[in-house]
Amino acid sequence: MERGQMKPMDAEQLRENGHRMVDFIADYYKTIEDFPVLSQVEPGYLRNLLPSSAPDDPESLDQVLEDVQANILPGVTHWQSPNYFAYYPSNSSIAGFMGEMLSAGLNIVGFSWITSPAATELEMIVLDWLAKLLKLPEEFLSTEQGGGVIQGTASEAILVVLLAARDKFLHRIGKNALNKLVVYASDQTHSSLQKACQMGGIHPENYRMLIAGASTNYALSPDVLKEAISHDISKGLIPFLLCATVGTTSSASIDPLLSLGKIAEENGIWFHIDAAYAGSACICPEFRPYIDGVELADSFNMNAHKWFLTNFDCSALWVKDRNALIQSLSTNPEYLKNKASQTNKVIDYKDWQIPLGRRFRSLKLWMVLRLYGSKNLQDYIRNHVNLAKHFEGLVDQNPRFEVVAPRLFSLICFRLVPAEGNLELSNKLNHELLDAVNSTGKTFISHTVLSGMYILRFAVGAPLTEKRHVDEAWEIIQAQSSLLLERFST
Ligand SMILES: *Cc1c(COP(=O)(O)O)cnc(C)c1O
């Protein structure tokens, strides 16, 4: 391209380049199993492969795509690979992809209603749809006093909830009480709550990470919570936020929402439910009981970008009292004033989140719900859960291994049991097994620690995974464990 002739958004060039990019991505998906699932590059690998400064003159898309193939893809960990079983899934789908494309094409910044009325209104409608699929209580609907909002991540969701709850309390009891506010959750709660406490100015000693161990299947015990609350009250502290999890990050355990919610209610505490991963499953009637008690919650969060075929990022947060969010997060500068906002006829989502600018993210969720329909989405979840059950059966059949926490959704926590029963040795063995399995590049699993035990996590949930991928992963795990045990016994 000659200088001075750049046309950054020429429709015909977009058509040509766009088709080429879609072809490139389709070919990527066709050959995705040829790559090592976990990238095997060394830190800093890319610096030697790319020039040290940006080009003065334009290059062609071909040149860039060649570079992607040769230098970028080796440094990619393939989250969409059917052999991906690490952490929790982060689904993509054609529908989600189409929504992302359309959102990129329109490229609006929808901070207030007026900046693109459709963006705000579609988000309200789609989150009402999803709330109904999850059978959330009516108070969470935008037609009531609450409503849903799409955050980037569960971490942002928990932060805005903590700020709303904090300010609701401080408004009532005075700003000086900040140092007295106490947050409750189990030690299995995602670290984003701790980060939110740090950012929200919660006194570092006032975050109660209550122990949830093997005896309760890693769920928070209501008695432990009650005791902590009365102890804090007796010291003059003020309980203000309880976070329960449905599907914890380590083991997918479930806190008992009904009993915890009642304790929160009795003490006037804001009750938040983090169902980032497992929330998706609750569109199936057989899994919905896991969120019984959500009617007692003030806020509920699930990541559509984990297990709901909606490309990253899309984290759905619902609140019962939208004013609590708005009172904590709204600003009203002159340059954003407009009639619709000032007459209070509309929602301005800038007041429900941390940034001002926001993408048109509801498009992809809308596409997923429309192009697949809830029945397919339910079957999609069930298929993964069945594959996980299948894997659990395989682990159970091999006396060298054990499942270490109940499998509730599509996650299996398991480990190699050493003959000696020595914890330290077992931890070392399992750690080495993890590294050995992942360095084959053929499958990718992750780990956690539960009650001091080093544990392997196998989470089914990639959109391309079939039974043969699960079987192959198990073959690899067994083969690597045999090699490892041979080495240890000599
Ligand atoms: C994944 C996860 C999170 C964090 O999700 P982000 O969207 O990456 O912030 C929080 N809580 C639970 C239970 C999770 O599974």
Q: Check: pTM over 0.95? Answer yes or no.
A: yes
Quick check: CB of 88 below 6 Å from ligand 1?
A: yes
Query: Rounded to a whole number, what is the distance in angstroms from the first to the last CA of the chain?
Result: 64
Q: Taking 70 as the threshold, does the pLDDT of residue 3 lie above it?
A: no
Ligand 1 atom with minimal separation from the 246 CA: 13
How many angstroms does the Cα of residue 316 sit away from the middle of ligand 1? Answer: 12
pLDDT digits (tens, 9 = 90+) for 49-77: 999 999 999 999 999 999 999 999 999 99
Q: What is the mean pLDDT of the chain?
A: 96
Which residue, judged by its Cα, is nearest atom 7 of ligand 1?
Answer: 153
| Integer Cα distance of 138 and 191 in angstroms | 30
Which protein residue's CA is at the shortest distance from atom 5 of ligand 1?
A: 154
Whole-number Å distance between alpha carbons of 383 and 302: 20
What SS3 string covers 194-222?
HHHHHHCCCCHHHEEEECCCHHHCCCCCH
pLDDT of residue 56: 95
The verdict on the CB of residue 155 being under 6 Å from ligand 1 is yes
User: Which atom of ligand 1 has the smallest separation from the CA of 153?
Assistant: 7
β-bridge partners, 446:
457
Maximum Cα–Cα distance across the chain = 79
Q: What is the mean pLDDT of residues 260-286?
A: 98
Residue 1 predicted with pLDDT over 90: no
What is the Å distance from ligand 1's center to 109 Cα?
25
Q: What share of the chain is helix, strand, coil (3-state, %, to 5)?
A: 50, 15, 35
Tokens of 199: 């950012």
276 in contact with ligand 1, CB cutoff 6 A: yes
Q: What percent of the chain has pLDDT above 70?
A: 99
With the most atoms of ligand 1 within 8 angstroms of its CB, the residue from 249, 250, 314, 354 to mutate is 249
Question: Are 307 and 380 contacting, i.e. CB atoms less than 8 angstroms apart?
Answer: no
Query: Which residue owns the Cα nearest ligand 1 atom 8?
Result: 153
**Ligand 1 centroid – CA 154 distance (Å):** 5
* Residue 6 clears pLDDT 90, i.e. is over it: no
- Check if 188 has its Cβ closer than 6 Å to any atom of ligand 1: no
Q: Which of 160, 189, 192 to mutate to test the pocket of ligand 1 (most atoms within 8 A of CB)?
A: 192
* Residue 418 pLDDT class (50, 70, 90 cuts): confident
Q: How many angstroms is it from 190 CA to the middle of ligand 1? A: 7
Q: Which are the contacts of 55, defined by CB distance < 8 A and separation ≥ 6?
A: none
pLDDT reading at 122 higher than 90? yes
Query: For position 420, what pLDDT does the model report?
Result: 76
Q: Which atom of ligand 1 is nearest to the CA of 247?
A: 13
Q: How confident is the model at residue 104 (pLDDT cuts 50, 70, 90)?
A: very high
C-beta 312 within 6 A of ligand 1: no
Which residues have CB under 8 Å from 84's CB, separation 6+? Answer: 37, 78, 444, 462, 465
Q: How does DSSP classify residue 330?
A: -
Distance 272 CA to ligand 1 centre (A): 14
Tell me the Cα Rg of the chain.
24
pLDDT digits (tens, 9 = 90+) for 308-352: 999 999 999 999 999 999 999 999 899 899 999 988 889 999 999
Quick: pLDDT tens for 372-416: 999 999 999 999 999 999 999 999 999 999 999 999 999 999 999
